[in-house]
């Protein structure tokens, strides 16, 4: 077996890989075939950089797999890209890019007879039953109160450190030395088949060794319990300073996988302990490992909360985002009434050709930023973007009694932002930017259908499809903002609305009433024109086509060149009926295209 220690001099971080035998490859890329792979990252590291094979007589053969980067051996000897393999006597040291790799045969640090190892019961958090009922008083000889207090203070210090930070692991290693009284404390994290030493504290200067027993680590992985030696291991020829006893306690993640080990060793016999690791000392080490677990779990929870908050803030208003962080279950699938809004910039394809890619993207980004702010301002959910279009929703995931009102106010605010959005591009566009918005209210299936890394919360079904077609109908009727009859029913009398027609839309069964949303306040002059139009529409639908033409005529005479497009469309339909009376008249407007 080979012990391969990889050190990054820039960060002083090391990790140890235990290789069972045969060939092993190193590089940034993934494993290829059946050859074991040690993935490494650093400057001037190739995707496939090095391959080593263990030889007899304490040697290895080193192959350079890279086509661009060399491998540096001892005495300024290099293996160039594509160069011949070289033998290296163990222990050996070589350099790959910015990393230093030390390779040696994995001889036991000390002989560890299995019978000398003891284990502890699993921590309370992992036991199915409660505590044993024993107290420190019932243990007989127990540490003085001030010692216990110091132990707990040290453990609290570990938990106060930022989980996963160098200080967090360093405080754990320090507690092994200062609290348990060991000579060396290590925190090892598992990286695939490797072990990375992320913290190390020694009572005495020992040359900075990160040595640990692979036998002990394998035993911890097998038993999934704390392993310790209650008597020192020694052979007759050993000096007392060479005697070593160890303790290792596993660190579990939320899925009960071992992700690390808190590891301590005693290299000399002390008058207080006799050299071995006592059961109480091993319990404290296990308590430290549990503290690391708790810290890592807290870090994972905080990271998950941060990820959720980042996702929520992209789509939801601050109030709704905070509510979802408290109760993410609100995102689960449900059927409920929603109001859905679709928007689309008018003539953007032609405009993009004039602007060029960079300015076209900048225009869409500025427009979507403003429109998103308006949706969030009125407590809506931004569901998705598609090119120069946007979809938003109200009344999910939480109840909003005035969801239709909020959607309409947001839509009017979006229309109001258009002059500011288009101002910088007016010279190229030759006019103001156009926007079409369609709004519909109805039942929909709502839920999160995104991945674990990307939230996509939104509605599905007929209500959504109809809202999309209503947005398309704004192009046929020549108005920027349309709502359906179901939305109109929930608005009350505060908005200025005009019924334009009853329409049959592409891909939608049945007909739907379409209303122009003009403003959020009463406008007597506009309402007078609205009443005239709706009178003409009623005459048209009653087959009174001549009267409809006369009514619209009086409306058009007042417009002085800036004609109302729905009025022009209505009069043309009435004239066509007068010219060629239909055998079976259908007053429903037909829009076959989207």
124-147 confidence digits (pLDDT tens): 555 544 444 443 334 445 666 666
* Distant-in-sequence, close-in-space partners of 76: CB < 8 Å, separation ≥ 6: none
- Mean pLDDT check: name the lowest of 40-54, 144-158, 194-208, 372-386: 144-158
Mean pLDDT of all residues in 143-161: 64
- pLDDT the model gives residue 458: 85
Q: Give the tokens for residue 279.
A: 């059961």
**Given a cut of 60, is residue 108 above it in pLDDT?**
no
Nearest to 471 by CA among 340, 382, 338, 342: 342
- Mean pLDDT check: name the lowest of 51-65, 130-144, 171-185, 578-592: 130-144
- pLDDT the model gives residue 266: 85
- Mean pLDDT check: name the lowest of 137-151, 286-300, 429-443: 137-151
Q: Give the tokens for residue 583.
A: 């055998």
Mean pLDDT of the residues in the chain: 83
**Given a cut of 90, is residue 514 above it in pLDDT?**
yes
Phi, psi of 401 (to 5 degrees): -55, -35
- pLDDT the model gives residue 311: 63
pLDDT over 90 percentage in the chain: 41
- pLDDT the model gives residue 357: 86
Nearest to 116 by CA among 264, 242, 279, 228: 228
pLDDT, tens digit, for every residue of 521-530?
Answer: 878 888 999 9
**pLDDT-derived band of residue 237, with 50, 70 and 90 as boundaries?**
very low
- pLDDT the model gives residue 477: 95
**Given a cut of 70, is residue 226 above it in pLDDT?**
yes
- Angstrom distances, CA of residue 533 to CA of 192, 491, 499, 566, 589: 74, 21, 9, 9, 16
Rounded distance, CA 545 to CA 576, Å? 9
**Given a cut of 80, is residue 465 above it in pLDDT?**
yes
What does CATH list as the number for 2-105? 2.60.200.20
Rounded distance, CA 7 to CA 14, Å? 4
pLDDT, tens digit, for every residue of 323-332?
Answer: 766 776 777 7
- pLDDT the model gives residue 525: 85
- pLDDT the model gives residue 145: 64
CB atoms within 10 A of CB 172: 30
Strands 334-346 and 245-252, by their bridges, are: unpaired
- pLDDT the model gives residue 369: 92
Mean pLDDT of all residues in 228-254: 68
Q: Which DSSP category does 233 fall into?
A: B
Longest dimension (CA), the chain: 121
CB atoms within 10 A of CB 551: 23
* Distant-in-sequence, close-in-space partners of 425: CB < 8 Å, separation ≥ 6: 351, 355, 359, 363, 433
The architecture that CATH gives domain 326-465+475-491 is 2-Layer Sandwich (3.30)
CB atoms within 10 A of CB 276: 19
**pLDDT-derived band of residue 192, with 50, 70 and 90 as boundaries?**
confident
**pLDDT-derived band of residue 301, with 50, 70 and 90 as boundaries?**
confident
Strands 434-448 and 481-484, by their bridges, are: parallel
Mean pLDDT of all residues in 229-240: 51
- Mean pLDDT check: name the lowest of 142-151, 218-227, 231-240, 364-373: 231-240
Strands 334-346 and 434-448, by their bridges, are: antiparallel
- pLDDT the model gives residue 121: 65
- pLDDT the model gives residue 213: 84
pTM: 0.56
Q: Give the tokens for residue 267.
A: 């290299």
**Given a cut of 60, is residue 195 above it in pLDDT?**
yes
Mean pLDDT of all residues in 450-467: 82
**Given a cut of 60, is residue 212 above it in pLDDT?**
yes
**pLDDT-derived band of residue 59, with 50, 70 and 90 as boundaries?**
very high
**Given a cut of 90, is residue 85 above it in pLDDT?**
yes
The architecture that CATH gives domain 114-121+144-300 is 2-Layer Sandwich (3.30)
- Mean pLDDT check: name the lowest of 149-153, 276-280, 576-580: 149-153
Domain map (residue ranges) of the chain: 2-105, 114-121+144-300, 326-465+475-491
- pLDDT the model gives residue 272: 43
């Amino acid at each position: 077996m080979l012990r391969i220690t990889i050190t990054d001099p820039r960060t002083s971080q090391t990790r140890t890989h235990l290789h069972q035998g045969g060939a092993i490859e190193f590089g940034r890329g993934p494993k290829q075939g059946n050859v074991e792979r040690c993935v490494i990252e650093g400057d001037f590291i190739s995707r496939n950089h090095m391959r080593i094979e263990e030889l007899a007589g304490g040697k290895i053969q080193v192959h350079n797999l890279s086509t661009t980067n060399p491998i540096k051996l001892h005495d300024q000897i290099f293996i160039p890209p594509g160069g011949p393999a070289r033998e290296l006597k163990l222990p050996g040291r070589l350099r790959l890019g910015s990393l230093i790799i030390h390779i040696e045969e994995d001889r036991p640090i000390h002989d560890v007879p299995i019978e000398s190892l003891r284990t502890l019961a699993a921590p309370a958090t992992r036991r199915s039953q409660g505590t044993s009922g024993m107290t420190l008083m019932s243990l007989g000889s127990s540490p003085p109160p001030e010692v216990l207090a110091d132990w707990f203070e040290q453990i609290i210090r570990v938990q106060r450190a930022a989980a996963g930070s160098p200080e967090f692991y360093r405080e754990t290693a320090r507690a092994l030395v200062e609290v348990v009284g060991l000579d060396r404390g290590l925190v090892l994290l598992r990286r695939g088949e490797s072990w990375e030493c992320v913290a190390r504290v020694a009572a005495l200067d020992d040359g900075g060794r990160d040595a640990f027993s692979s036998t002990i680590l394998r035993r911890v992985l097998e038993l999934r319990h704390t392993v310790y030696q209650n008597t020192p291991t020694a052979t007759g020829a050993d000096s007392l300073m060479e005697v070593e006893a160890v303790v290792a306690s596993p660190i579990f993640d939320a899925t009960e996988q071992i992700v690390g080990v808190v590891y301590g060793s005693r290299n000399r016999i002390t008058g207080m302990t006799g050299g071995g690791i006592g059961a109480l000392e091993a319990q404290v080490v296990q308590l430290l490992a549990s503290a690391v677990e708790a810290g890592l779990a807290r870090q994972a929870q905080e990271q998950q909360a941060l990820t959720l908050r980042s996702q929520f803030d992209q789509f939801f208003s601050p109030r709704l985002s905070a509510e979802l962080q408290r109760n993410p279950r609100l995102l689960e699938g449900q059927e409920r009434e929603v109001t859905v809004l679709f928007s689309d910039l008018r003539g953007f394809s032609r405009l993009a050709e004039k602007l060029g890619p960079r300015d076209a993207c900048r225009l869409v980004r500025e427009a979507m930023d403003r429109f998103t702010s308006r949706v969030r301002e009125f407590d809506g959910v931004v569901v998705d973007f598609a090119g120069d279009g946007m979809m938003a929703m109200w009344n999910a995931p939480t109840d909003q009694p005035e969801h239709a009102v909020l959607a309409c106010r947001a839509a009017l605010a979006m229309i109001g932002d258009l002059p500011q959005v288009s101002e910088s591009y007016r010279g190229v566009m030759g006019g103001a930017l156009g926007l079409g918005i369609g709004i519909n209210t109805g039942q929909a299936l709502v839920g999160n259908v995104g991945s674990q890394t990307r939230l996509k919360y939104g509605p599905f079904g007929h209500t959504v499809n109809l809202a999309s077609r209503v947005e398309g109908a704004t192009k046929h009727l020549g108005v920027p903002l349309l709502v359906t009859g179901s939305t109109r029913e929930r608005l009350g009398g505060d908005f200025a609305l005009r019924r334009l027609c009853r329409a049959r839309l592409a891909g939608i069964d049945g007909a739907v009433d379409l209303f122009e949303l003009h403003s959020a306040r009463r406008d007597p002059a506009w309402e007078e024109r609205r009443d005239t139009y709706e009178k003409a529409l009623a005459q048209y639908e009653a087959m009174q086509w001549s009267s409809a033409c006369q009514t619209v005529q009086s409306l058009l005479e007042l417009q002085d060149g800036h004609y109302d497009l729905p009025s022009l469309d209505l009069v043309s339909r009435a004239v066509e009926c007068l010219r060629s009376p239909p055998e079976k008249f259908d007053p429903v407007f037909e829009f076959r295209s989207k």
